[in-house]
Chain A
Amino acid sequence: MTINDGLLVMTKTVLEVDNLSVEFPARRGLVKAVRNVSFQLYEGEALALIGESGSGKTTLGLSLVRLLPKTARIREGRILYRKDGEEQDVLLLSREGLRAFRWRECAMVFQGAQNAFNPVLRIEDQFIDTARAHGIRDKDKVRAEARELLRRVHLDPDRVLKSFPHELSGGMRQRVLIALGLLLKPQIVILDEPTTALDILTQRSVIEVLRSVRDEFKFSLIFISHDLSLAAELADRVATVYAGKIVEIGNVFDIFEKPRHPYTQGLTQTVPTVTGELRELISIPGSPPDLIEPPKGCAFNPRCPYASERCRQEQPPLEEVGDGQFAACWNWREITERKPL
């Protein structure tokens, strides 16, 4: 379900992640970066994955296009991609199938677009390269398409296409990468920290660009960020990730207005409100959990003001707590409003 102009519209699922777990071997043991994550991405919606750094959200994003570092192991799970009534498990794709899937079906715009381009090739050639990798050999057509897209992201195509990456500013490169991401009209775009390395004004223009291209191209968007205010602006739904697990997922209004997981609640309280409403900002006490040996029971229990004995023993499952809102907390009923300060 997604929210369009305040109306609830039933839509199709384009991506379904089912019980995905990813591990990295480290000296001390296995780093459980993603633990039994399941979620669905609906057609045309924007889903934000929010969490502190080290929560496993980037690993989750990378595993969707199978770009994990060599050492990573996908222990279990399925990633089902749906298009035109057909379903494929991304994890079972052949080498060639995977190559074709990347960018054409699912483009990933990385954090730190600063180094996303080959320094010795002109931007134009990198567009042509991408198209050619997916069987489009008509260079003039690609050029025309690239021009159109660059104009969409408010760049001067004549200048940008002939430039080498180092001749563009960070914000420009980020926008070029977004334009490149849309070149093959993918069904899904993943943005990993799309604005993190940018100054505040450039961030703004990138956000505006993202909004306008999304309205126009109607792709589904997953974006990964630690920045809740960005999520509030761009997302239809928000999922909070803690210690490699999705601890709460729901539509953006519910997540901000009535979070049912203490971690989400903590996160929303770390952000100043846009309306300037007076509210004391609090930070979540404690530090992110150890992903090698996550705390027993609920991973958040050592930092949680609501933690009970049960939380220290048993892991809470994701439970439906409202209309399309799910939270993994034993005590979600207690978290009905903001904790009085």
Chain B
Amino acid sequence: MTQTTARTSGPSVLMRLRAIATSFLARRILKALATIFIVVSLTFGLVRLMPGNPIETYTFELMSQYNMSYQEARDQAAALMDVNLDAPLYQQYFEYLGKLLKGDLGNSYRSKGTSVVSYIKQFLPWTVFSVGTSLLISFTLGVTLGMLMAYRRESWLDHILSTIASLASAIPNYLIAIMLIVVFGVQLKWFNVTKMRGSLSPGMTPGFTWEFFADAFYHAALPITVYVLTTVGTWMLSMKSSTVQTLEEDYVTVARARGLSDGRIMTSYVGRNASLPLFTQLAISIGFVVGGSILIEQMFVYQGIGQQLFKAINARDYAVMQGIFLVITISVVVANLIADLLYGVLDPRIRSGKE
């Protein structure tokens, strides 16, 4: 057995390589890696194209804050930031790539000694929690209401929900956030905006306790409400049109003729087929979960990755920006990859085509 393998190892390696090149999965993964590489390189260049640089920005900050002279502030800024921005760009680029391959995203320029990885570890979970929860709620609610609208199409319920859905998805999320704060928080005083700020109450220690989860949800409630309100409409309308189409399908009529119960037809025949086109959309949304929303986190002072990105951009903290963009890129690409693969599992017609 081993002998045979040894003798035919030449062609078999070639064949295996060919198999990899033609395998759907391998091709998709290679494509995903290439995408990540290209985006990483572009990000590297783009963040450096922004006017100003980390030292400059900090210098002006120090000057205005402490009334220092330019030279004094510049020295202090340069001393704080242990980076050589004067090195040739390609040298910086390869240094960055080299570290990246080892999983080292470098240190924050601004907060000396804090690694970008630890930054992301600290803030990313909050964004994933708030945006992820809202996506879950939004998708479930949207799909359910969309189906309801399709089943009751042309009824008053359908008209009301359609109007609400189009309206809600047309309003930018920051406007809804402002409305929530000003109208319900400040004027009607339905909730205490100041107390709800942040991602946790002071003194709350993370752990598997009821208090912790309740507190986390309390603080995430407003961002989640905004995310849900602004995204649920799209899910509703997509699901409605998809369901209306599916209801016209012959197999639904035949299912009725077969005497299947309405519930069974609604879930396994209509719902399952109608939601297929939504999964690509869902995967893309899952990818963007880590990105969060800069504006919303900023407005509710929610300590997620979006807020950190905002701070990093203001401070021109290249390392942090690159790190956050990298995480967003990877998750979008991976989510799409999973969507492609999952789609085959969900829809057998695609599966057999790719095998």
Which A positions have Cβ atoms within 8 angstroms of B? 65, 67, 99-104, 107-108, 110, 112, 114-121, 129-130, 133-134, 164, 166-167, 177, 180
Residue of B251, B264, B272, B352 touching A164 (CB-CB under 8 A)? B352
A103 with B250: CB separation less than 8 A = no
CA of A273 to CA of B41 in the docked complex: distance in angstroms?
A: 77
Residue of B251, B254, B261, B273 touching A99 (CB-CB under 8 A)? B261
Type the 1/0 row for B59-71, where 1 means its CB is closer than 8 Å to any CB of A. 0000000000000
Chain B residues with CB under 8 A of A100: 259
A117 with B251: CB separation less than 8 A = yes
Interface residues of B in 250-284 (CB under 8 A from A): 250-251, 253-261, 264, 268-269, 272-273, 276
B348 with A120: CB separation less than 8 A = yes
Q: How far in angstroms is the closest Cβ of chain B from A118? A: 5
A119 with B348: CB separation less than 8 A = yes
A103 with B348: CB separation less than 8 A = no
CA of A115 to CA of B252 in the docked complex: distance in angstroms?
A: 9
Q: A120-B273, A166-B348 are in contact. Are A134 and B259 (CB under 8 A)?
A: yes
Chain A residues with CB under 8 A of B264: 129, 133
For this complex, 10 residue pairs linking A to B, each with C-beta atoms less than 8 Å apart, are: A67-B256, A102-B257, A110-B250, A110-B254, A118-B251, A118-B273, A120-B348, A129-B258, A133-B261, A164-B348
Chain B residues with CB under 8 A of A116: 250-251, 254
Interface residues of B in 325-355 (CB under 8 A from A): 346-349, 352
Of B256, B258, B273, B349, the most chain A CB neighbours within 10 A belong to B258
Chain A residues with CB under 8 A of B347: 119-120
Chain B residues with CB under 8 A of A167: 352
Categorize the interface residue count of chain B: 20 to 34
Chain A residues with CB under 8 A of B251: 115-119
**CB nearest to B254 among chain A residues:** A116
Q: How far in angstroms is the closest Cβ of chain A from B34? A: 32
Chain A residues with CB under 8 A of B261: 99, 133
A129 with B349: CB separation less than 8 A = no
CA of A130 to CA of B257 in the docked complex: distance in angstroms?
A: 10
CA of A102 to CA of B260 in the docked complex: distance in angstroms?
A: 9
B257 with A166: CB separation less than 8 A = no
Residue of B249, B258, B273, B352 touching A133 (CB-CB under 8 A)? B258
Residue of A65, A115, A121 touching B257 (CB-CB under 8 A)? A65
B250 with A99: CB separation less than 8 A = no
Chain B residues with CB under 8 A of A134: 259
B250 with A130: CB separation less than 8 A = no
Q: How far in angstroms is the closest Cβ of chain B from A119? A: 6
**CB nearest to B347 among chain A residues:** A120
Q: How far in angstroms is the closest Cβ of chain A from B263? A: 10
Q: A102-B259, A133-B259, A133-B261 are in contact. Are A118 and B348 (CB under 8 A)?
A: no
Residue of B250, B259, B352 touching A104 (CB-CB under 8 A)? B259
A102 with B269: CB separation less than 8 A = no
A133 with B260: CB separation less than 8 A = yes
Chain A residues with CB under 8 A of B260: 99, 129-130, 133
Residue of B256, B258, B259, B272 touching A120 (CB-CB under 8 A)? B272
CA of A107 to CA of B258 in the docked complex: distance in angstroms?
A: 7
CA of A65 to CA of B251 in the docked complex: distance in angstroms?
A: 16
CA of A102 to CA of B258 in the docked complex: distance in angstroms?
A: 6
Q: How far in angstroms is the closest Cβ of chain B from A124? A: 13
Residue of B249, B253, B257 touching A103 (CB-CB under 8 A)? B257
Of B251, B257, B346, the most chain A CB neighbours within 10 A belong to B257
Known contacts A103-B258, A110-B257, A120-B348; 6 further A-B pairs (Cβ under 8 A): A108-B257, A118-B251, A120-B273, A129-B264, A130-B260, A166-B349
Chain A residues with CB under 8 A of B268: 118, 121, 129
Chain A residues with CB under 8 A of B250: 110, 112, 114-116
Chain A residues with CB under 8 A of B269: 118
CA of A110 to CA of B254 in the docked complex: distance in angstroms?
A: 7
**CB nearest to B353 among chain A residues:** A166
CA of A121 to CA of B269 in the docked complex: distance in angstroms?
A: 9
Chain B residues with CB under 8 A of A103: 257-259
Q: How far in angstroms is the closest Cβ of chain A from B55? A: 58
B258 with A130: CB separation less than 8 A = yes
User: Top 5 nearest A-B pairs by Cβ distance?
Assistant: A115-B250, A102-B259, A164-B348, A103-B259, A116-B254
CA of A130 to CA of B251 in the docked complex: distance in angstroms?
A: 13
Chain A residues with CB under 8 A of B272: 118, 120
CA of A167 to CA of B355 in the docked complex: distance in angstroms?
A: 13
Q: How far in angstroms is the closest Cβ of chain B from A53? A: 17
CA of A177 to CA of B268 in the docked complex: distance in angstroms?
A: 19
A119 with B349: CB separation less than 8 A = yes
Q: How far in angstroms is the closest Cβ of chain B from A160? A: 15
CA of A40 to CA of B15 in the docked complex: distance in angstroms?
A: 68
Q: How far in angstroms is the closest Cβ of chain A from B50? A: 48
Q: How far in angstroms is the closest Cβ of chain A from B51? A: 53
Q: How far in angstroms is the closest Cβ of chain B from A108? A: 5
Q: How far in angstroms is the closest Cβ of chain B from A327? A: 32
CA of A134 to CA of B258 in the docked complex: distance in angstroms?
A: 9
Chain A residues with CB under 8 A of B257: 65, 67, 102-103, 107-108, 110
Q: How far in angstroms is the closest Cβ of chain B from A60? A: 15
Q: How far in angstroms is the closest Cβ of chain A from B204? A: 45
Type the 1/0 row for B234-253, where 1 means its CB is closer than 8 Å to any CB of A. 00000000000000011101
CA of A22 to CA of B140 in the docked complex: distance in angstroms?
A: 40
Of B254, B273, B352, the most chain A CB neighbours within 10 A belong to B254
CA of A99 to CA of B254 in the docked complex: distance in angstroms?
A: 12
Chain A residues with CB under 8 A of B273: 118-120
**CB nearest to A99 among chain B residues:** B259
Chain A residues with CB under 8 A of B256: 67, 102
Chain B residues with CB under 8 A of A107: 257-258
Chain B residues with CB under 8 A of A166: 348-349, 352
Q: How far in angstroms is the closest Cβ of chain B from A65? A: 6
B352 with A130: CB separation less than 8 A = no
B259 with A130: CB separation less than 8 A = yes
Q: How far in angstroms is the closest Cβ of chain B from A176? A: 12
Chain B residues with CB under 8 A of A119: 251, 273, 347-349
CA of A145 to CA of B64 in the docked complex: distance in angstroms?
A: 86
CA of A110 to CA of B273 in the docked complex: distance in angstroms?
A: 20
CA of A166 to CA of B351 in the docked complex: distance in angstroms?
A: 11
CA of A107 to CA of B254 in the docked complex: distance in angstroms?
A: 10
